[in-house]
Amino acid sequence: MPNKEILLDVSNLEAPQPLIEAVMALNKLQDDEVLLFKHRMSPEHLFNEISARNFSYEIIKNEPNNFQMKIYKEA
Residue 8, domain CATH:
3.30.110.40
Report the pLDDT value the prediction gives residue 72, as an integer from 0 to 100.
97
Instruction: For residue range 24-42, list pLDDT tens digits in order.
Output: 999 999 999 999 999 999 9
Least confident span in 16-20, 42-46, 57-61, 71-75: 71-75
Q: Within 13 Å of residue 41, how many CA atoms lie on the same side as its CB?
A: 10
Q: How many domains does the chain have?
A: 1
Whole-angstrom distance, CA of residue 44 vs CA of residue 36: 16
Q: What is the pLDDT of residue 1?
A: 77
**Cα dihedral sign for 19, 2, 36, 62?**
positive
Count, in order, helices (H) and strands (E) of the chain: 2, 4
Indicate if the pLDDT at residue 75 is higher than 80.
Answer: no
- What pTM, to 2 d.p., does this model score? 0.94
**Closest by alpha carbon to 65, among 34, 37, 46, 42?**
42
State the residue range of the domain holding 49.
Answer: 4-73
In the predicted model, what is the mean pLDDT of the chain? Answer: 96
Say how many CA atoms lie within 13 Å of 23 toward its Cβ: 12
